[in-house]
């Protein structure tokens, strides 16, 4: 069986992946808080862990993998968007508007992530469907001395868990200094975090046994993932994933409350975190004008497959920089690949080196480099099957591609450039110059760089001038 290696954040090292049960490999990934459209940074972990679950299914069998990704559908941000709608005159109670907003945003999310080729997980639990297990876990934590009630809230007592901070590698002082912790007089420790809090009659809430006068409340964010993963994957499961911005406090808090409520379990054995995303070398920000959603790009005509390809060119543990140049290069490459292998129904298995690259801590960059080597130098079936393992060249993502239009023109350009290169190698400089002039007349600028030949179309590009070469 293929050996998979994973960089385990908790161990700070790459480790051989050994599932608890090879017949039941379990993966949990933190999903979105559904208050608005998913921006480009939200999409990166979706694509990263989609490739991981594809690899796991390839190695262990599709029926032996359970992939869970949750929806947080009870949150202050969701409440705020619903309140804004109500103040704008939208009919319905505030709770109804919250529910309506959550459903709408979940539909958007699944559509946009599907456009990137992300397969839907086996389970997509909503936090509001698991309130009873959350209450049960909170009661266990109180009974075991790991949580306490204060002014209608229930808080986890961080000092009761001696290993707190092991995942992120931070000291308590560093965590207090760097955390945006809520300052509240009823907290015993600044790092203590909310498991349950009061809720008004208008906002979503559930009856609970907490408080002097038990009443309406709602869960804190961190308890949601602990309860849902317990219900769907058990007290011990294999991999927990998410963006590295979730290491602290979210994942740190998940570990603490899960291990304290169920000390018989190991919770997640391996932790995987993807790095963040930038746009044109800068942090994505509305104030900088470089903030956009996946939906924005799709509406602008950027194919979802192109977005996915740009993501996968960078290793998941490295910061990813989205640029217009990368988008153009990705589309150009995918056009060539689909021209070569897009029309076949792939048979057989993927290339062994592509599988090996993905098995080495999900090295998608190396896998794509290998695909570039395989392009037109291997059986089209092997090439396409290998690309499909990364979620590329799938039929579902091919709607954007018209094999009889732009790709044909690009192929003419590439052919003309290859003739120019051959002429230069043969020292037939007159012919090389003639090919350069022909390309220029067709609206193609060719540049010789240390890395190789590059080209770009101008606004007066006319492929017909290259026909007949």
Which has the higher per-residue pLDDT, 376 or 238?
238
DSSP codes, 342-387: TTS---S---HHHHHHHHBT--HHHHHHHHHHHTTTS-HHHHHHHH
> pLDDT at position 406, please?
53
Region 447-463: mean pLDDT is 81
Tens-digit pLDDT profile for residues 409-439: 777 788 888 889 888 888 898 998 888 989 9
**Both structure tokens of 287:** 């104030």
254 in a labelled binding site: yes
Instruction: Give phi and psi for 7, each to the nearest 5.
Output: -80, 110
State the Cα–Cα distance between residues 368 and 415, nearest whole angstrom: 23
**Both structure tokens of 330:** 């990705």
Whole-structure pTM value:
0.84
Longest dimension (CA), the chain: 92
Which residues, 6+ apart, have CB-to-CB distance to 56 below 8 Å?
A: 4, 25, 27, 65
> pLDDT at position 193, please?
95
- Plot region of 92 (φ>0 → left; ψ -120 to 50 → alpha; else → beta): left
Task: Specify the long-range contacts of residues 242-245, CB closer than 8 Å, at least 24 apart.
Answer: 242/29, 242/30, 242/45, 242/272, 242/273, 242/274, 243/30, 243/41, 243/44, 243/45, 243/273, 243/274, 243/276, 244/9, 244/273, 244/274, 244/275, 244/276, 245/276
Region 73-88: mean pLDDT is 90
Q: Are 242 and 32 in contact (CB under 8 A)?
A: no
Site of tokens 């979503």? 204
Q: Are 118 and 31 in contact (CB under 8 A)?
A: no
State the Cα–Cα distance between residues 326 and 115, nearest whole angstrom: 19
225 in a labelled binding site: yes
Residue 226 exposure: Cα atoms within 13 Å on the Cβ side: 28
Region 244-271: mean pLDDT is 97
Which has the higher per-residue pLDDT, 381 or 267?
267
pLDDT value at 238 more than 60: yes
State the Cα–Cα distance between residues 222 and 249, nearest whole angstrom: 9
Residue 66 exposure: Cα atoms within 13 Å on the Cβ side: 18
Tens-digit pLDDT profile for residues 334-355: 998 998 887 788 788 999 999 9
Q: Are 101 and 82 in contact (CB under 8 A)?
A: yes
Lowest mean pLDDT among 50-59, 115-124, 162-171: 162-171
What is the pLDDT confidence band of residue 203, given thresholds at 50, 70 and 90?
confident
Question: Which of 221-225, 396-400, 419-423 shows the highest mean pLDDT?
Answer: 221-225
Site of tokens 């679950």? 53
Specify the DSSP class assigned to residue 39: B
Specify the DSSP class assigned to residue 247: I
250 in a labelled binding site: yes
HEC sequence for 172-232: HHHHHHHCCCCCCCCCCCCCCEEEEEECCCCCCCEECCCCCCCCEEEECHHHHHHHHHHHH
What is the pLDDT confidence band of residue 212, given thresholds at 50, 70 and 90?
low
Q: Are 40 and 279 in contact (CB under 8 A)?
A: yes
Region 381-399: mean pLDDT is 94
Lowest mean pLDDT among 23-37, 119-133, 435-449: 435-449
> pLDDT at position 179, please?
57
Instruction: Give phi and psi for 185, each to the nearest 5.
Output: -65, -20
């Amino acid at each position: 069986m293929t050996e998979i290696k994973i960089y385990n954040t908790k161990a700070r090292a790459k480790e051989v992946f050994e599932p608890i049960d090879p017949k039941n490999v379990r993966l949990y990934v933190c999903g979105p808080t559904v208050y608005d459209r998913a921006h480009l940074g939200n999409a990166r972990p979706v694509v990263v862990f989609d490739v991981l679950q594809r690899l796991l299914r390839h190695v262990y069998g599709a029926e032996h993998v359970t992939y869970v990704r949750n929806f947080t559908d009870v949150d202050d941000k969701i409440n705020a968007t619903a309140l804004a709608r109500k103040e704008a005159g939208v009919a319905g109670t505030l709770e109804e508007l919250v529910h309506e907003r959550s459903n709408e945003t979940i539909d958007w999310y699944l559509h946009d992530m599907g456009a990137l080729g992300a397969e839907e997980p086996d389970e997509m639990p909503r936090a509001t469907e698991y309130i009873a297990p959350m209450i049960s876990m909170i009661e266990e934590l109180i009974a075991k001395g790991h949580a306490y009630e204060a002014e209608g809230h229930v808080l986890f007592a961080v000092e009761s868990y001696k290993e707190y901070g092991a995942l992120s590698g931070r000291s308590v002082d560093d965590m207090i200094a760097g955390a945006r912790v809520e300052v509240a007089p009823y907290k015993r420790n600044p790092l203590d975090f909310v498991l349950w809090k009061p809720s008004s009659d208008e906002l979503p809430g559930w009856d609970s046994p907490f408080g002097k006068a038990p009443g309406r409340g709602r869960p804190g964010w961190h308890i949601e993932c602990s309860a849902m993963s317990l219900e769907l994957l058990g007290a011990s499961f294999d991999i927990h994933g998410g963006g590295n911005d979730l290491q602290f406090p979210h994942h740190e808090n998940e570990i603490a409350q899960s291990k304290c409520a169920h000390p018989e379990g190991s919770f997640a054995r391996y932790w995987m975190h993807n790095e963040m995303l930038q746009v044109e070398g800068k942090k994505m920000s509305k104030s900088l004008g470089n903030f956009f959603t996946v939906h924005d790009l799709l509406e602008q005509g950027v194919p979802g497959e192109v977005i996915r390809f740009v993501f996968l060119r960078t290793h998941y543990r490295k910061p990813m920089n989205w640029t217009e140049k990368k988008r153009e290069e990705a589309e150009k490459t995918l056009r060539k690949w689909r021209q070569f292998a897009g029309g076949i129904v792939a048979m057989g298995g993927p290339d062994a080196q592509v599988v090996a690259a993905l098995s080495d801590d999900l090295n998608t960059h190396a896998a794509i480099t290998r695909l570039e080597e395989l392009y037109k130098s291997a059986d089209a079936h092997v090439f396409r099957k290998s690309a499909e393992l990364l979620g590329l060249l799938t039929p579902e993502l091919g709607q954007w591609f018209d094999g009889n239009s732009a790709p044909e023109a690009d192929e003419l350009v590439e052919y003309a450039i290859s003739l120019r290169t051959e002429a230069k190698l043969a020292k037939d400089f007159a012919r090389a110059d003639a090919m350069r002039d022909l390309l220029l007349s067709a609206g193609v600028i060719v540049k010789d760089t240390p890395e190789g030949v590059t080209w770009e179309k101008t606004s007066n590009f006319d492929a017909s001038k290259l026909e007949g070469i």
